[in-house]
Structure 1
Amino acid sequence: MTVEPGTTTVPGPRPAVAPGVRRRARPARAARRSCRRSLGLLFWLSAGWLGLVVLGAITAPLLPIADPAAQNYQAIAVPPGSPGHPLGTDRLGRDLLARAIFGARISLIVTTSAVTIGLVVGGLLGMLAGYYRGITERLVVAATDAMMAFPALVLLLALMATLGASVQNLIIGLGVLGIPAFVRLTRANTLVYAQREFIVAARSLGALNRRILAREIVPNILPAVGAYAFLVVALLIVAEGSLSFLGVGVPPPASSWGLMIAEGRDSLKQTPWVAFIPSAFMFLTVLSFNLIGDRLREESDVRETTL
């Protein structure tokens, strides 16, 4: 629109945006600042700690640290801050920093693999139960309730006693433990989205059920399931540490936070750092996973309420 010289324009209401037309997006820098403010400082501190733990676990064989299984009888039970041993050593002269880093490697491999098993198997069963309903839902719900009624620690101890103590068997046991939680979560979310208008429209247009599940259901429930996965990882880290503490988890001489705590429990008065250092690593890691999972869950809830 052109304005003739000498005339003025009267400001009026902004024109409405036509349906299907999006307004111009904010600049990327402003969007990143808004994202940082909404997530909060605790989220980024937790993400930073997890980044260090994951980076250390991935690059553990390449780092200039001692062999976690090497015994140095010239430096037995030295306190933290000693030359060459920033976090000290245990009663066998093994470097605690190296053992903590390799312990993070074991814990992350075990828990993330177990969560993947629980997410894939439990998520698939939960979606099928929530989408098809009927006899499929009744069978899945009955099996899930039966598994959740059984004490988790007793179930893990029975599995490890039957299969034997190894990393592979520990992954299987923890993966089975995580299936019921993902079944219930994905079933509840699928029940909500299966009644939405876009699902009804897709059915009316003749879309196949597998296409609806893959293209419509999965993308909508994925944010909530992904946020919950962080909480399950935190739970399984504690479970893995508990089993290793009891002697039925990761077998020695492999490094595990729970095994390190068990090895230092008999000398808490003389060398408390042997048990406190792996406890601190486990505490900060579990806390970080919980904080990130809670924050992501809140963000996904806000996103769903604005649909």
Structure 2
Amino acid sequence: MAEARETLEEPILTGNGGPTDLAAMEPDLLDVEPDQTVASGRRRRSFQFGWWLACGWLILVVGAALLAPILPLWEPGTPDYTNVAGGLSASHPLGGDAIGRDNLSRLIYGARASLLVGLSAVVLGAVIGGLLGIIAGYVGGKVERVLLTLTDATLAFPGLVLLIAAVAVFGASMTVIIVGLAVLSIPTFIRLARATTLVIVQREFVTAARAYGARPMRVMLREVVPNVVLPVAAYGFIMVGVFIVAEGSLSFLGLGIPPPTPSWGSMIAAGRTELLTHPQISLIPAAVMFVTVLSINYVGERTRKRFEVKDSNL
């Protein structure tokens, strides 16, 4: 019995011949695993909080923009001369601009214009660029080379110069801005859709469809397009924020949506002469644009990562 006890008390040898003290290992395991679990839980809660906060702000902005005609707001183009560069008040919660127009009303109606420009340009660019990118990736050959050459040529041209030239030729209007932004986004969507298509056409379900004798058009529409839509849409969501900033930049230069239609960029530009005396005229719309674009980027980036095409999730 004494020999048996001595045998049980001997240290256990590891693979390299060194002793391993299990009693000493257990505290280390207990220290590491709970910390990792707690850190993972904190990251998950932080992610959920940021996600819902960004989504809540976007829902608020979009809802206010859609319901603007029925909300109890001042007319965005009607000045109140008792509220010229006014501060916060009960009748004007966000004050007034340099000629007395209500800032809150103009912010909400400006959201309609800015969101319309961003969404319309993205949809137009994503549909055209996505289809061309799928064709380039699936067909290949000369078609792919021609499309990639045109894409590289378009990307080499300065985007802001192209927009300024379009406004100078066709005049400043919402339609010209939407079409100009869509044209600038088409090459990016072509590259994204093509890269995604090149990954998808190597998958087993595409090979099986071809083996069963499906026509190329049917394979492309039934197998490739549904798998390209989600990554393109996720990236397009991010592009909405980019186009809102682009529209604001054009409006700041006086080349955006013409008055009396308000937009966030035109509101920022209208207050630049009052920055020293009444900075809130420009800072309020700039802050709203910043938070909105930040929320769009946050939600879009998380969505893009969720639907990013990889070999591991196909």
- Determine if the TM-score, normalized by the shorter chain, exceeds 0.5: yes
C-alpha contact (below 8 Å) 1:104/1:256 kept by paired residues: yes
Tell me, in whole angstroms, the C-alpha distance in 2 between the residues paired with 1:295 and 1:38. Answer: 13
Deviations 1:159-218 (A, max 9, x none): 111111011111111111111110000000001111212111111211122211221112
Per the alignment, residue 92 of structure 1 pairs with 99
Q: 1:76 aligns with which of 81, 84, 88?
A: 84
Q: Which runs of 4+ in 1 moved over 4 A?
A: 36-39
Tell me, in whole angstroms, the C-alpha distance in 1 between the residues paired with 2:221 and 2:46. Answer: 30
Per the alignment, residue 33 of structure 1 pairs with none
Per the alignment, residue 189 of structure 1 pairs with 196
- For the aligned residues, what is the CA RMSD? 1.5
Secondary structure of 1:254's aligned partner: coil
Q: 2:181 aligns with which of 170, 174, 184?
A: 174
Q: 2:266 aligns with which of 254, 259, 265?
A: 259
Secondary structure of 2:75's aligned partner: coil
Mark the runs of 5 or more structure 2 residues left unpaired by the alignment.
Answer: 1-43
Per the alignment, residue 156 of structure 1 pairs with 163
Per the alignment, residue 308 of structure 2 pairs with 301
Tell me, in whole angstroms, the C-alpha distance in 1 between the residues paired with 2:80 and 2:60. Answer: 27
Per the alignment, residue 51 of structure 1 pairs with 59
TM-score calculated relative to the size of structure 1: 0.85
Name the % identity: 53
Gap change, CA 1:223 and 1:303, over 3 Å in 2: farther
Tell me, in whole angstroms, the C-alpha distance in 2 between the residues paired with 1:146 and 1:38. Answer: 42
Per the alignment, residue 278 of structure 2 pairs with 271
What displacement does 1:38 show?
9.5
Per the alignment, residue 234 of structure 1 pairs with 241
Aligned-partner residue type, residue 167 of structure 2: M
Tell me, in whole angstroms, the C-alpha distance in 2 between the residues paired with 1:190 and 1:160. Answer: 35
TM-score calculated relative to the size of structure 2: 0.83
Aligned pairs for 1:107-118 within 5 A = 107-118=114-125
What displacement does 1:306 show?
3.1
Tell me, in whole angstroms, the C-alpha distance in 2 between the residues paired with 1:303 and 1:46. Answer: 26
What displacement does 1:39 show?
5.4
C-alpha contact (below 8 Å) 1:39/1:295 kept by paired residues: no
Tell me, in whole angstroms, the C-alpha distance in 2 between the residues paired with 1:134 and 1:157. Answer: 35
Deviations 1:24-44 (A, max 9, x none): xxxxxxxxxxxx969521111
What displacement does 1:127 show?
0.3
Tell me, in whole angstroms, the C-alpha distance in 2 between the residues paired with 1:289 and 1:239. Answer: 14
User: Alignment length, in residue pairs?
Assistant: 271
C-alpha contact (below 8 Å) 1:199/1:212 kept by paired residues: yes
Please identify the structure whose Cα radius of gyration is greater.
Answer: 2
State yes or no: 1:66 paired with 2:66: no
What displacement does 1:303 show?
7.6
Per the alignment, residue 10 of structure 1 pairs with none
Tell me, in whole angstroms, the C-alpha distance in 2 between the residues paired with 1:114 and 1:88. Answer: 32
Secondary structure of 1:94's aligned partner: coil
What displacement does 1:302 show?
8.1
